[in-house]
Amino acid sequence: MAVWHVLGNELVSTAAFMGSAAEFDAVAAGGALTLPSGRALSKADLALGVTSGDDEPYGMLGDDATAQPRTDFVAIGLNRPLTIQIRHVYTGKYPRAGLLGFDKKKDLAVVSALKDYAVFAAASRAVNFLKSDVGQHANISGPTALEEGTSIVAYQPAVTSDSLTVTIEAAFDNFPKAFTDQIGGAFASAAGVPIFLPWAGYLMTASAVTKLAGGLADALFDGRPAFSFTETLAFNVPGSDIPKADFRILCSNTFDPQGLKFDPKRGLVDTETKAPYSGDEPYVVLSLDGAEREKLAAFAPTLASAAVLQRFFDMRDGAQASVGTVVEGLKLLSDSKYRADADALAIQIAKLPAGDPQHATLKARHVALVKNIASDTLKPAALT
C-alpha cells in the first residue's frame, strides 16, 4: 500500500511532505519553494492557508491568488484532539462484473477500523455508510444529506496513544433490503458515530446493540473486501515521522499519481484537463484534523464498548437490547483508567526538582489524560 499527501493541491510522497516544514518556514521569511509540478510557491501564497511549524499544519493551496478561501487544518499531535474523516472514495475497477458481464453495479458498504492500545486495545470494525447501485470508476464523497451514515472514522479529545492504526475497506454485494433497513434504523441512534460491528451478526450504536437476522451481514464478515487500505499514525514512536494534519491518499503501490492533483470536492483530477481520474486503481482520501468536536464525544466510549460487549450478549435473531447501562459502566471504566494514569503522572511531576525540563512535557500529557475523562466527578484538579 502507498500513501500520498496533499501539499497545496499537489500530491507528494511522505518523505517529501514531512521534509517541507523548514522550507515552508523559509518561504514565510521571503524565500521560495518549488512544488512537484514546477510551480514556485511564494510568501503571497501563504495567505491561502499553506502554513507549517509545530503549531500550524499545512493548509490548502489554491490554483492562484483568487482561489476560494478554505478552512485551515488545526494541528494534530500527542496530547491534542484528532478527527479522522473519510473525504473521498474512488472505486476504480470495482465491483467486478459477473461471469456473463452482468451485475456491473452493486451496493457498497464502506467499513473502517481503528486500533488503539490506550485503554482496551480496541479494533472493532464499523460501518460508515452504504451506497446503492455503485458501479466501476465511481466517485463518492460520503453519505448525502438524504442518506444515513457518517464519514467520521475516529475522534479523540486528546491523543494519548503512541500509535494508532486505521483501516478502510470497501465491500460490494447486493445487500438484502432487510439489512439496509436495519442499518438505516441503527444510524438514527448512532449519535454521529459509525455503527460498530463488535461481533459477526451484531450492530452497535451509542445506545443499542442489534443482532441481525439470519445471514444478513455475511457480506461484511465473510470473504475479503474488494479493496482495503491501512495507515499507521505514529505519534510517539522513535524513528517514525510524526503525523501532520492534512489530506492523505491511500492507494496501492501500483498507483501512479503523476499528472494528477487533488480537488477537495472532486477527488483526484487531471492537472491539465481538470477531468476526474478515471483509471482502474481505487483510492481513499482521509483527512486528519485537530479541531475539538464536542458533538463526537460519544465516539471513544462506544468504540471501547464494542470491543468488549461481545462477551455479554447472546441474543436471538432480530432482537435489540439497550446497552445504555453497559456503555455508561464502560465509560466509568475508561474514565477510571485515565484518572489512574493522571494521578500516577501527577505524583511523578511532584517529585521533579524545580526547573526540571520534563515538567512542561509531563504536564501537557496530564492535561491530555484529563481531557479523555468524560465524567466531571472523576476529573482531578488542574496541576499548578
Among 42, 9, 37, 12, CA closest to 24:
42
Across 4-18, b (16+ Cβ under 10 Å) vs e yields bbbbbbbbbeeeebe
- Distance from C-alpha of 220 to C-alpha of 231, rounded to nearest angstrom: 21
For residue 48 the three cell numbers come to 491561502
For residue 101 the three cell numbers come to 458481464
How distant, in Å, are the alpha carbons of 233, 239, 257, 380 from that of 372? Answer: 19, 27, 39, 12
For residue 325 the three cell numbers come to 447501562
pLDDT for 114: 85
Contact 67, 48 (CB under 8 A): yes
pLDDT for 188: 65
pLDDT for 292: 92
Across 245-274, b (16+ Cβ under 10 Å) vs e yields bbbbbbbeeebebeebbbeeeebbbeeeee
Scan for cell 465491500, then name that residue. Answer: 171
Scan for cell 501527577, then name that residue. Answer: 346
pLDDT for 63: 46
pLDDT per residue as tens, the chain (384 positions): 889 888 767 787 777 666 555 565 565 566 666 666 666 665 555 443 433 334 444 444 444 444 566 678 899 999 999 999 999 999 999 998 766 656 678 989 898 988 875 555 556 678 888 898 999 999 999 888 767 788 999 888 999 889 999 999 998 988 777 777 777 777 765 556 677 776 666 777 666 667 766 555 565 555 578 999 999 999 999 988 889 899 999 999 999 988 999 998 899 999 999 999 999 999 999 999 999 998 887 776 566 555 555 444 444 555 555 556 556 666 776 788 899 999 999 999 999 998 899 999 999 999 999 999 988 888 999 987
Largest CA distance in the chain: 77
